[in-house]
Amino acid sequence: MTFRRTKIVATLGPSSNSPEVLEQLIIAGLDVARLNFSHGTPDEHKARAKLVRELAAKHGRHVALLGDLQGPKIRIAKFACKRIELKVGDPFTFSTSHPLTEGTQEIVGIDYPDLVKDCGVGDELLLDDGRVVMRVDTATADALHCSVLIGGPLSDHKGINRRGGGLTAPALTEKDKADIIHAAEMDLDYLAVSFPRDASDMEYARKLRDESGGTAWLVAKIERAEAVADDETLDGLIRASDAVMVARGDLGVEIGDAELCGIQKKIILHARRHNKAVITATQMMESMIQNPMPTRAEVSDVANAVLDYTDAVMLSAESAAGAYPLEAVQAMARICIGAEKHPTSKASSHRMGTTFERCDESIALAAMYTANHFPGVKAIIALTESGYTPLIMSRIRSSVPIYAFSPHRATQARAAMFRGVYTVPFDPAAMPPEQVSQAAVDELLKRGVVKPGDWVILTKGDSYHTIGGTNGMKILHVGEALV
């Protein structure tokens, strides 16, 4: 039985809307379904969420739902003829007073007035994720007059970034605030915040989530130059979140592609050190939008993220709007399993010199140390209320699978994002205490995960209703009578 430890996030859209395709994606190994609030209506997202949960339940799978807020993506307005072609050296103007539907070969409207205030002469502006680049030559009160450095096609509503960051748009727009309420109504498991600058943006998002009655874990999308400017800002942003996403599109545009790979590795490392889940995203299999096979470079990109120990790898347009959504998920699963055979995935020297702040963290790390140093251990069972104990366990490099045993739907789905963690619905409070260990091990025997003679580690709390209450660890011999 081959277990894939790295999880797959796939964005739903026109290519993956039908129940038939969605069901195939779930069978192929979809772990987290991403609802991109930049597109579609709340009702469409609610219908998708319901369908995912129904199909996952049908196949005994646990698929988390991730809502992704649009954020203050600054975009140009529209062209009268939909699209223009720019050449190197062409003059081009961004104007806050030009009519928003009347863009021409020389000028386009913009509905973000602060762009003119935020930019000055000599700044570089990048459009459409850096495909077109311009330099600001002169600036007036309502316009930036530029010349084209890298030409190409430009069409309606393309995004605009400033090289080096520095655009002042707040992280949460009015649309985002409404979508946080929709996310609570859908009972989403994760909610991604676009373009946060620092911890305070995430704290504000958490306040709005709490006011909406939502319980989704918050994912900080790291995509602004300011967010990675220094370790203090990055670590603050990570600490204020429940998970992070390496959002390589806008981040690569703002910091430059040469810096991106090193920063990706740093974000993954820091997220894991702070006990947070981490998703690596953007263009992982971009060529599969049109082709049924990935390029060798894309294979290497996904495999490298796996070797860096990311929790999840993500598909965007490949699964939302591409011609081969199923093949993209299958290819990703195949590459993850291949990369996980590499020996770096099996040993850890992590946290040898650190002290722990919590009892459950101490038990979780003791369990992982034991699992990695006692070769007979074939599985770890974590009886968990919130999913925190298996999350901590999965921060440690190990080839031993971790099973999150929980009675709660939200915890069962949430754990679907954690690397090397598998969900087992299980309610220890429904049986006499002396039967819990045996019943838990029997679940793994039933699934063919362990056999008589294997060892299993089990962690639990004295109370099954206390979050953060894990305070005990047992090593159990499969096949013996257990209490």
Phi, psi of 72 (to 5 degrees): -85, 50
Q: Copy the structure tokens of residue 54.
A: 């129904």
Cα–Cα distance measured from residue 219 to residue 465, given in angstroms and rounded to the nearest whole number: 26
The reply to whether 34 belongs to the active site is yes
Catalytic residue among 4, 5, 7, 34: 34
Q: Residue 160: beta bridge partners?
A: 127
Catalytic annotation present for 221: yes
In the block, residue with structure tokens 């089990």: 458
Sheet of 421-425: strands edge to edge?
A: 421-425, 402-406, 377-383, 455-461, 470-477
Catalytic choice (96, 282, 411, 423): 282
Helix (H, G, I), strand (E, B) or coil at 475: strand
User: What does the CA dihedral 348, 314, 158, 146 come to, rounded to 10 degrees?
Assistant: 20
Cβ pair 98, 127 in contact under 8 A: no
Query: What phi, psi does 388 have (nearest 5°)?
Result: -70, -40
Task: Give the sign of the dihedral formed by CA 85, CA 91, CA 97, CA 102.
Answer: negative
Annotation marks residue 460 as catalytic: no
DSSP 463: S
d(CA 224, CA 236): 14
Q: Annotated catalytic residue: which of 61, 75, 239, 266?
A: 75
DSSP track, 92-120 = EEEESSS-TT-B-SSEEEBS-THHHHH--
- State how far the Cα of 115 lies from the Cα of 126, in Å rounded to an integer: 13
Q: What is the 3-state secondary structure (H, E, C) of 200-257?
A: HHHHHHHHHHHHHCCCCEEEEEECCHHHHCCHHHHHHHHHCCCEEEEEHHHHHHHHCH
Q: How far apart are CA 193 and CA 284, in angstroms?
A: 20
Looking at residue 78, the DSSP 8-state letter turns out to be -
**Distance (Å, rounded) from C-alpha 172 to C-alpha 121?**
28
- Annotated catalytic residue: which of 7, 221, 248, 272? 221
Q: Which of 118, 119, 100, 101 is nearest to 110 (CA)?
A: 100
d(CA 475, CA 459): 9
Q: Residue 219 pairs with which residues in a beta bridge?
A: 192, 243
Residue whose structure tokens are 């070769």: 375
Give me the residue label for tokens 């069901």: 23
Q: Is 4 among the catalytic positions?
A: no
Distance between CA atoms of residues 412 and 277, nearest Å: 15
Positions annotated as catalytic residues are: 34, 75, 221, 282
